[in-house]
Amino acid sequence: MVDLYRTFLPMMSLQIAYPQIDYPGSHPIKLGMQATISEQNTLSIQATGIEYIQLNNLLWSAYEPERGNASAINPNFTSILDQYNRVIALGAEPILIVHGCPAWARIPGTMFMDMANINSWLDFLSAVMERFPQVKYFQIWQEPDLTGGMEDYFGFWGNDRVTSYIHLLEESNGVLGDNRVVCAGISCADPLSRNFLNEIIASNQLDVIGLHYYPQLAWINKVDPSFNDTIASVRESFLGELWISEANYLARNVALNESFFFRQANWMLNMYGYCHDALVDGLFFYGWNNGWMAGSDLKDNPYATNILKILSFLAGG
């Protein structure tokens, strides 16, 4: 593993001599980020050499807020379409995260999707494929292993509804077809997530499983043993690709400062080494809501600039 405190300390002066890292038995991984792509940060992202960008929150609830009143002409689609076009222009591979159950499609009195409305969800997927023709990777829902969530943005399937989620995947696969890659982003936040993972692996409906991991401070310089066990178990039972698709230190809302930068960057480097050690196929950093990839002019923030330089290093730039 790489120790940022020793190897990358010169970064703070913006004079970086990248170390040569050789991981025995290493293999190519998909290196990317989940971020809001804007006019201000496009060039900074392009400079990293990142080849995969996750675009979150393409919402069924925005497409069809009322039953039968569906339209791709809405602010949510327009915003994601603008970002999608920027990703294509960068020569990167877009990954769409689609979810969001409208209020009318839920089981009355709950936040859970009523599976009787699944055909409307499939119509939404068809509209997405038409508007975003170059997307190969579709993540179906965000953190479906969570029973709770935040309105229509993530969660609200949970262990008790894993059978319904598998049915959603099965029907979605029928619409997306063989030339699309179907992914799931699992939170790993609850012990019940282990059973949820086992069930969806056994269903054989997924091409990619992405695990989300926000370590606490104790695990910044090493890997949490419980997460290590999860990775090993999934690798043994799942034949598709395994990604760590939100690989960040749990400090999304901390203002960028020197302390945050070193914690975040050291974790990024350690996770990269861990990917090779554990034969993980993809590593995606989450920069959507923590200040360093939220659309500001990154050139004016030395901490954000240095994190981008780490990404460039990891991408071979």
Domains of the chain in sequence order: 4-314 (3.20.20.80)
pTM of the model: 0.84
Q: Looking at residue 51, what is its pLDDT?
A: 87
**Distance from C-alpha of 174 to C-alpha of 189, rounded to nearest angstrom:** 30
Query: How buried is 261 (Cβ within 10 angstroms: 0-12 exposed, 13-18 middle, 19+ buried)?
Result: buried
Query: How buried is 84 (Cβ within 10 angstroms: 0-12 exposed, 13-18 middle, 19+ buried)?
Result: buried
Place 260 in a pLDDT band, splitting at 50, 70 and 90. Answer: low
Structure tokens at 135: 């997307």
The rounded Cα 52 to chain-centroid distance in angstroms is 10
Query: Which helix (H) or strand (E) segment is 237 a member of?
Result: helix 225-237
**Distance from C-alpha of 47 to C-alpha of 308, rounded to nearest angstrom:** 8
8 A C-beta contact, residue 171 and residue 127: no
Q: Give residues with Cβ within 8 angstroms of 85, minimum separation 6.
A: none
Rounded-to-5 percentages of helix, strand, coil across the chain: 45, 20, 40
**Distance from C-alpha of 66 to C-alpha of 269, rounded to nearest angstrom:** 45
- Of 16-20, 101-105, 124-128, the poorest mean pLDDT is in 16-20
Whether residue 288 has pLDDT greater than 70: no
4 CB-side CA count, 13 A: 26
Place 13 in a pLDDT band, splitting at 50, 70 and 90. Answer: very low
Whether residue 63 has pLDDT greater than 50: yes
Q: Give residues with Cβ within 8 angstroms of 34, minimum separation 6.
A: 53, 54, 55, 56, 97, 245, 246, 284, 285, 286, 287, 288
**Distance from C-alpha of 198 to C-alpha of 140, rounded to nearest angstrom:** 17
When comparing pLDDT for 88 and 269, which is higher? 88
8 A C-beta contact, residue 269 and residue 310: yes
Structure tokens at 80: 């994601």
8 A C-beta contact, residue 60 and residue 118: no
Whether residue 73 has pLDDT greater than 80: yes
Q: Look at the block and give the residue holding tokens 């330089």.
A: 309
**Distance from C-alpha of 60 to C-alpha of 275, rounded to nearest angstrom:** 33
Q: Looking at residue 235, what is its pLDDT?
A: 85
Q: Looking at residue 62, what is its pLDDT?
A: 95
- Of 5-14, 174-183, 215-224, the poorest mean pLDDT is in 5-14
